[in-house]
Structure 1
Amino acid sequence: MEPTGSQAGTQHAASEPMIRLTGIGKTYPDGTVAVHELDLEVGRGELAVLVGPSGCGKSTTLKMINRLIEPTTGTIEIDGDDVTRRDPVELRRGIGYVIQAVGLFPHQRITANVMTVPLLYGESKRTARQRAEELLDLVGLDPKTYGGRYPHELSGGQRQRVGVARALAADPPVLLMDEPFGAVDPVVRVRLQEEFLRLQRDLGKTVVLVTHDIDEAVTMGDRVAVFAEGGRLAQYATPAALLAHPADDFVADFVGATRGLRRLSVTRLDPAHLEPMDDVKAGELGTAIDLDSTLEEALAAMLRDDRPMVGVKDGARFVGVLTPAGVHRALRASLVE
C-alpha cells in the first residue's frame, strides 16, 4: 500500500530533522509580535503543514525559513546548517518556493519560466530546457502542448502546476509553499492536492506548507502545526492525534465539531483490522474497495450497498472484510504515533 497524505512521512519522523527552528521569534519595531519563541522540527522527507487564522504568524514563519523575513530571535537550521549565517540570496536558490499568486514571468513562455532557476545555476540552455520539459511532464503538463504558451493562456490550476515545476527545477531538498492551492476553484484544488501528494511520494522532498484550511491541512500533512493569534504554536501533531485529542479549547474550536468525521478521511485501511473471508456468506458483500482506501470510503461503501461489512481487495485478491468493529480498531491504532 502506498502511503499518502498523513502516512507519507511517517518513515522519516525518527531521523535527524531536516528543518529545525529553535526559539524563532519575530517582533516588529512597533512592538507587534508576529511569531513568539517557536520551536519546530520537520523530518527529512516529511510534509509539515502550518495552519491557523489570519495574522497568526504562519506565513511569517515560512518566510523566515528562507529569510524573506529576518527573524528577531532564534536559529534556523536546514540539514544541520544554521542558515541565519548564510548569504540569503544563495540560501533561496537552494530552496523551492511556491506562492498562491504563482509569480510567473508574464513575458516569458512556460518552458522559459521553468528554465529560469537552472540557468541561474549556470546550466547550459540545452540542459535547462531538458530539465524544464521533464518537470512540466512530471506535473502533468505536456511540454509540447503547453511549453510554448504564455502564463495568461493557462488556467489558474495549470499556472499553479507550472509554479511547482519551477520550484523543483533546481532539485531543492526543501520546498516551501504558501497557500499554493488557494486561488483555484474547489474541484481543481482537490485535484492539485492529489497530484502534489503523488509527486511527494515520488520525490520525497521536505515540505512546509501554509494554509488556512483545516481540511487541506489534515489531508496533506504528515504533521500539522496549529498556530494561535499572537504567533503562538498551540499544537503540533499528526492529523489523527490532532483530530482525536486537541491540546486546548482554541485547537478544538479551530479543528471544529466534525473532527471525528475528519479522522475517517485521514485514516487508511490496514490488513490487521480486517476480518477473514472464511465465514462471509454470498450476498453479504457489496462492491469491494481497495486496500489503500480510507475509512471514510469504506463506510461510504457500506452505506451505499446497505451492508454491515465491505470486502477489501489488494489488486485482484480479496484480503478480508472490514466491519464497524474493524473501523473502531483502526481509529484507535491511528493514535499510536
Structure 2
Amino acid sequence: MDATRSGAPGDDSAPMIRLSGVGKTYDDGTVAVQELDLEIRRGELVCLVGPSGCGKSTTLKMINRLIEPTTGRIEIDGKDVTGEDPVQLRRGIGYVIQQVGLFPHQKITANVMTVPLLYGESKSVARERAHHLLELVGLDPATYGDRYPHQLSGGQRQRVGVARALAADPPVLLMDEPFGAVDPVVRVRLQDEFLHLQRDLGKTVVLVTHDIDEAVRMGDRVAIFAVGGRLAQYATPMELLARPADDFVADFVGSEHGLRRLSVTPLDVAHIEPLDGVSVGDLASTIDLDSTLEQALATMLRDDRMMVGVKDGPRFVGVLTPNGVHRALRASLER
C-alpha cells in the first residue's frame, strides 16, 4: 500500500487510522505481528479478534505507541504518529483496558478530571466535564462522584474508565478487552450501552476481544488474526459469517456461524408479510423494523407464537414468521 496517498488531516474521505506494512518482531525473534495493512474509517467501530498470542493487543498498543513497531507506518487522521511525541500522542487518544486502571486513592470525579487538568483546563471546567461524562455513561455524579473505585461494582468501574477515556474528547478510542472482567449479563448491557454511546458520539473505535460473539455483535468490521500475527480476514460481520476466507477463519467462527448470522442480519420489509386476517390484538408482542433476526426469533420463542408484529415507528407494517426469517437468512447469503 502506498502510504503517500493519505488524505489531509480532517479529510472525511481518508481513513482515520491506517496501518501500512506494520510489523513487530521482538529481540528473541518472536514475530508478534506480520506486515499488517489495515484501514479504519472515520467513526467506525472495528473489532480485533483472534486466539491468544495472535498479535491483536500488540496491534492496539502500537497505534498509541505503548509498543513501538519494528516496521511500517501508522497514521492517525493523515499524520504519521511514529514521528510524534508518544506522551502527547496518548493524551489525544482514549484508552480503556479490562482492569480499568482507575487511581484507587482518587474519587470518581477526580479520576475523570485527570486528562482535562493535564491539558490545562481549570478545575471548575474539568469538574463540569467530568460530571457531564459520568451522566453520559449512566452514572449520576451526585451519587457516584464522591465514591472511590473500590466502592463501585465492576461494571460501574468500567463505565468510569470509558468516561475518563472520553474526557479529552479524543477522535480515537482504543479498547483492550473492555468488558471481559464483568459477568455475562452485565457485559451484554455494557455492550448495548456503549453501542448507543458510539452512535451518538461518532468516535473511531478499535476494540480488542477474544470473543467472536462480541466482535460480530459490536463491530462495523472485524479483523480476525491468526497465531503469528497474520491478518486472516477483515470484513463486515455479515461477510465474515457468510464467507470465511479460509479454514482457520471458518474454524474460529465455529459451527454456530449460521446462528450468529441471526444477530447481524437486520429485518427487511421484503420478508415481512401483510397483516391480512390478523389483528394487532392477536399479536403477543411487536418489534421494531430496525431489529435483528435474532431479536425477532427470540420474541417468537419467548411468547410461543409463530409470528411477531413489526412496527416502523408508530405504524404497523406487518408480521414476521419463521418462513420470513428463513427467507431473510437465505437473502443474506446472496449479498
Given the two structures, how large is their TM-score scaled by the length of structure 1? Answer: 0.91
- Which residue of the partner structure matches residue 270 of structure 1? 268
Shift of 1:277: 2.5
State the Cα deviation string for residues 124-156 of structure 1 (Å, max 9, x = none): 111000000000010011001110011111111
Mapped contact 1:284–1:307 kept (Cα < 8 A): no
State the Cα deviation string for residues 48-85 of structure 1 (Å, max 9, x = none): 00000100000000000000000000000111111111
Q: Aligned AA for 2:247?
A: D
Mapped contact 2:280–2:309 kept (Cα < 8 A): no
Alignment partners' CA distance in 2, 1:272 and 1:76? 43
Alignment partners' CA distance in 2, 1:119 and 1:332? 54
- Worse-matched range after superposition: 289-298 or 235-244: 289-298
- Which residue of the partner structure matches residue 87 of structure 2? 89
Mapped contact 1:76–1:84 kept (Cα < 8 A): yes
- Which residue of the partner structure matches residue 76 of structure 1? 74
Select the residue among 136, 143, 152 that pairs with 1:138.
136
- Which residue of the partner structure matches residue 212 of structure 2? 214
- Which residue of the partner structure matches residue 43 of structure 2? 45
Mapped contact 2:48–2:56 kept (Cα < 8 A): yes
Alignment partners' CA distance in 1, 2:119 and 2:333? 44
Select the residue among 150, 154, 162 that pairs with 2:148.
150
Alignment partners' CA distance in 2, 1:46 and 1:335? 24
- Which residue of the partner structure matches residue 9 of structure 1? none
Aligned-partner SS, 1:326: helix
Shift of 1:326: 3.0
- Which residue of the partner structure matches residue 8 of structure 2? none
Select the residue among 152, 157, 160 that pairs with 1:159.
157
- Which residue of the partner structure matches residue 28 of structure 1? 26
Q: Give the direction of change, closer, same or farther, for the CA distance of 1:70–1:282 in structure 2 (3 Å limit).
A: closer
Mapped contact 1:26–1:72 kept (Cα < 8 A): yes
- Which residue of the partner structure matches residue 313 of structure 2? 315
Mapped contact 2:94–2:166 kept (Cα < 8 A): yes
Alignment partners' CA distance in 2, 1:132 and 1:115? 6
Alignment partners' CA distance in 1, 2:280 and 2:151? 55
- Worse-matched range after superposition: 267-276 or 78-87: 267-276
Aligned-partner SS, 1:17: coil
Alignment partners' CA distance in 2, 1:89 and 1:266? 38
Alignment partners' CA distance in 2, 1:44 and 1:190? 25
Aligned-partner SS, 2:188: helix
Ranges in structure 1 where 5+ consecutive residues have no aligned partner: 1-13
Q: Give the direction of change, closer, same or farther, for the CA distance of 1:107–1:307 in structure 2 (3 Å limit).
A: closer
Q: Aligned AA for 1:207?
A: V
Select the residue among 111, 120, 123 that pairs with 2:121.
123
Matched, 1:327 2:325: yes
- Worse-matched range after superposition: 271-280 or 126-135: 271-280
Matched, 1:185 2:191: no
Q: Give the direction of change, closer, same or farther, for the CA distance of 1:70–1:185 in structure 2 (3 Å limit).
A: same
Mapped contact 1:284–1:309 kept (Cα < 8 A): no
Shift of 1:282: 7.8
Alignment partners' CA distance in 1, 2:321 and 2:244? 27
- Which residue of the partner structure matches residue 3 of structure 2? none
Alignment partners' CA distance in 2, 1:74 and 1:106? 38
State the Cα deviation string for residues 188-233 of structure 1 (Å, max 9, x = none): 1111111111100110000000000111111110001000000000
Shift of 1:269: 1.4
- Which residue of the partner structure matches residue 63 of structure 1? 61
Q: Aligned AA for 2:275?
A: M
Q: Aligned AA for 1:330?
A: A
Q: Superposition RMSD on alpha carbons, in Å?
A: 1.8
Alignment partners' CA distance in 2, 1:59 and 1:275? 46
Select the residue among 239, 245, 248 that pairs with 1:247.
245
Shift of 1:17: 1.0
State the Cα deviation string for residues 152-183 of structure 1 (Å, max 9, x = none): 11111111100000000000000000000111
- Which residue of the partner structure matches residue 293 of structure 1? 291
- Worse-matched range after superposition: 122-131 or 266-275: 266-275
Q: Give the direction of change, closer, same or farther, for the CA distance of 1:332–1:79 in structure 2 (3 Å limit).
A: farther
Shift of 1:276: 2.6
Select the residue among 194, 197, 200 that pairs with 1:199.
197
Alignment partners' CA distance in 2, 1:110 and 1:185? 22
Shift of 1:16: 2.1
Ranges in structure 2 where 5+ consecutive residues have no aligned partner: 1-11
Alignment partners' CA distance in 1, 2:159 and 2:304? 40
Mapped contact 2:173–2:203 kept (Cα < 8 A): yes
- Worse-matched range after superposition: 307-316 or 283-292: 283-292
Aligned residues: 324
Alignment partners' CA distance in 2, 1:153 and 1:305? 39
Shift of 1:292: 2.5
Q: Give the direction of change, closer, same or farther, for the CA distance of 1:167–1:16 in structure 2 (3 Å limit).
A: same
